[in-house]
Structure 1
């Protein structure tokens, strides 16, 4: 007799090709409505599944894991970030956590550059003006922004995505600076002609553009707080395609409203979909609905990594993208 197939619960809709392959390999419960699960629904899903496939919208804390029972053995996250999962509590209960690293690096770096250009060149303002039908033709002083060539880009977090951003920014003629937990290998620094700043305070006060590319951890929460935002040059721009919690969003809103910053481009927000309406009203702010990884190719690759993690686990081996608490 064939071995009993793993029971897998998927919390949100995934690309059709991924869902089809999951049905072929496992006993799968798919999400027909693609609606965010409540805490109670997530706990119930963990009680009846061998494997849970959540995503960034599913916050799984210690109290929920305590109610999960003994059946759950693997959380195969659809996405690279796992700050929404209490990885330490999961491991203490014998539940492995896997993710999908490296898949969205290029897509997120592309979006970072798009936001830098959108804010500095006032693209959304121009687009809105054209859509309003009010445009009367070219004018010498209309919609003047700033060029990015020759400007200093400060990258906060020089991992895979930070380096991909640096590679693109160099092609635009930007000067690369970075702050990281550890200084990069000299060969990597040489590739980008990058300048390392051990002091984040010193870096932010000198940059024209700050790009947030670090994960959300207890040590990075509000890393860009009111004090550091006040250090920035009044014409400086902040772009965030990582995690909203890294920036104190209320402090950022106050700085922008006071004219203490040149602008911001945000793809992620501190409180998820609950965005400060005063921030939304700023003309020099570009807000996107967490689109950094939203390419067909990237989302399919994420699903393929999830499939490999589950299949490897089902075969009795360690998932290739296993997350351990020390990594978080």
Structure 2
């Protein structure tokens, strides 16, 4: 038996600063206690939990495929348990320092396969139950939106990392220098020196927040509860489709609702990124550098960071 961690240690070391509201309210309270229970067992590894979550996803898919309501309820429950295990693998990795880049890849790929498998099984089961072609179209919609959400998030993370890296290089800052591209809180005005370095923080999201007005207060309130402002992400999308829909026997309603909400929040993120790139361009102009020159300077200097705080794709399986 390994070291027994306290619940406070687990919360402090494994909870994200900001997370999906579904995870904060409906997963973390259970997952943290299960982590407390299994963390001392040396054979319970992050990859084992990832495999367990993946296999439970197939069990949920089998239940969904049966089509009848009692099976839908069983599938929803199993899917939620699968997601709890999926959250536990990252917590164990961060708590015990046993994460790996392969584990992060495994977690990501298995998550996508689980969604595809459950989407096909759920909608085919309902098609056989009702003989309605609507469910087959919805299967394609769920798979497409899940793919789009995660590909879009990965690319957005790359673009934001590139903007940070290029600005650092254009300002002559090497690796480990002050972070100059940040999404600051409303309490931190643009231009505040970063960590006593004398370099002002470049808040590329300032214009976007200014257009939101009073919603900034809502954002800050949510952040105080560890809930990210991106209220409907891939996590909520999956839970609406694979848990709320089956539990209420309203698969069409919750699938369509979740699709609309996910699309709306993705469009908001795209607009937010577009707004940030305009500010980024103006900041480069102030420095007197073109984007190509900044990128070349970044490559030469070897500067690079990544900002993934808007999505659930940060490499949670890679120990710090």
Q: Normalising by structure 2, what TM-score?
A: 0.26
More strand by share: 1
Relative contact order (C-alpha < 8 Å, sep 6+): which is higher?
Answer: 2
More helix by share: 2
